[in-house]
Structure 1
Amino acid sequence: MLINRESIARYLTNTLGMADLELTDYPKAKQLPYLLQDQFEFLQMKFANHFVILAIPKKNIPLRQMRDALRYLPSDQPLVMCFESLASYERRYLIEQKISFLVPGNQLYLLDLGIDLREYFHRKKQAPVRALNPATQAMLLWFLQNHQLTTEWAPSEVATTLKYTSMTASRAVAELVELGLFEEFSRGRRKYLRANDSHEQIWQKAKPYLRSPVKQEIWTREPVYLRPSEICLAGISALSKLTTINSDQETCYALSPQTWQEIKRDLVPLPEKEPGASCYQIWAYEPRMYREGSISSGASCVDALSLWLSFRDSSDPRIELALSDLEKEFRW
């Protein structure tokens, strides 16, 4: 709960626009009972024609004990308690006791000054986005491959199709707007994104923030019994279907995280690739994303954009050539 006066002054200046704010030592502090001097540092500020006492705890003691001690303060000036942080139950207790308080960068409750509860719940300053969250990437690629005729879309609708939560959709909106790929607007309670660039331009801008969807590769000789709707070709097996590159003898498949959890106990992985074995890629998101607005119900290849990303770090000249051909064939 400990805090310093500089953070208090900075918070009040930024929050209430108090450019001339001045915090001074409380002039009657040395006349207070020793109990108060021992447990609190007292400051004074002038606000809205009032002199306000700020009480800053020096020790981490229970709020009830603080309240009882502060009853020995003169009652002719409003009191505000200052904390570095508060748990929800502590905040609730202070409000129930009608005690004004502040938490710099987070909460402000100035009851005695006629300012009702104002909670700011600022998120911690985030580092610049270096790579999109896998769910955000999946929703972006879905948009690029399924919304050819529109520049507006609702990530929440895509999230439902891909079985993500509304919270995940909100995070996707924040990431895509932060990168300048879309503009945000609302219709009713739903958030939409508007693109000012073509799909191809968005793809090129987003590339530095996109990553391979492949989290892990498993080689096995064990048979895997899955319905065609639960599996699709990936790796070289898929690339050979979409370009002129020759396929390997071994077949490569992509699995969603959920499907992998269901079958992994039945597989005995090999320590490395072996002739005649099969490769199973575990993806960070659903690999069965196709056009037409739904997940494919038949075995086929992974979507072309994700396939390109799964090979983006390859230094094999024949794969680089195939990727160049694949990108030229993207349907925008």
Structure 2
Amino acid sequence: MKVEQVLHMKGGVGKDSYGNNSSHPRSVISMVKPILGESIIEVYSAMSSFECLKIADLGCSAGPNALLVVSEIIDIVDEICRRLKRPRPCLQAFLNDLPGNDFNAVFTYSLPSFYERLEREKGTKFRNNCFVAGVPGSFYGRLFPPNSLHFVQSSYAIMWISKAPKELVSKTGSSLNKGNICVAKTSPTAVLEAYLEQLKRDFELFLRCRAEEIVSRGCMILTTMGSINSNDPLTIWEFVGLKLNEMVAEGLIEDEKLVSFDLPYYAASVKEVKNVIEAEGSFKLQKLESFSIDRDDYIKKADNDHVVDKTARSAIIARDIRAVGEPILASHFGQDIMDDLFCRFEDGVLDYMEAHKCQYINIVMSLTKKDV
């Protein structure tokens, strides 16, 4: 089955849905807000006052985060207009993700409250000048007409590559990454190189397509999970792989099922993404920053009364990872093992994270399209 048919967050509004388990990405979006503000000011300053500001959120997913960046951009533009005494521009926002994304949940549950907030805080006129549309499709390809967007943002999406590299299988048909579902500390160098080359191909195509769609001097902010270097891969998905191996050993999953599964995921280093941006050449790199946070940092910060114990933290992390990984894992291993898999994950995840000092490396890129 093609990746674009199965790669999406868990939809709906249930307890295991991404909409109810996406506080970590939301916290990272908030951390990036100062850089977002700088880019929007740059974009707005280059616009004529009568233009419609056109923005796109690529890999928006479902749930409350789908419209979070759009809301923040509206607040930033509103403040600029008040300060400069300029009329508020019309705004058109495009929400993009793969076709399997739960767009119905976005437009049924999130959008009405988004418009209610706009009308309550900004007035009817502002609400009537804001238009939101869904654009299903892969961002590893063209999505919009030429020179039609002023600003593009993508958060926690581009580490999901278009496919697992075909080079992970040897000429004799054996797996080069046996026992792992992604780049792991035990993966041979050939596996890391294969994933890196796929990332380069995909990210270059992503940049080339956005260069066609963004106006001259338009801006883009990309936030992705990364790694400090190629020898320090993200380990949380390794732990999922360990639990799958455990189930294989107990005869609950066929060994061939595990051997034939490779996650289309690569957390690049700062140097790796910088090299691709410079080689592709369409964008000027304004900022390239990285910061690390504990995997459960957002849980600790929200726990003001110190009531969330180790068991509760483990359950929250397990639901978060399940909301992200279940659709693609279930498509390969079957839905019937998901409860068992994530129960095992929950039981040991905090001990594993502490033993391996698991942190999430976040890379933020601010880019401006070069004049042509």
| Shorter-chain TM band | under 0.3
Q: Normalising by structure 1, what TM-score?
A: 0.23
Between Structure 1 and Structure 2, whose CA radius of gyration is higher?
1
Higher relative contact order (CA 8 A, sep 6+): 2
Identify, as 1 or 2, the structure richer in helix.
Answer: 2
Q: Normalising by structure 2, what TM-score?
A: 0.21
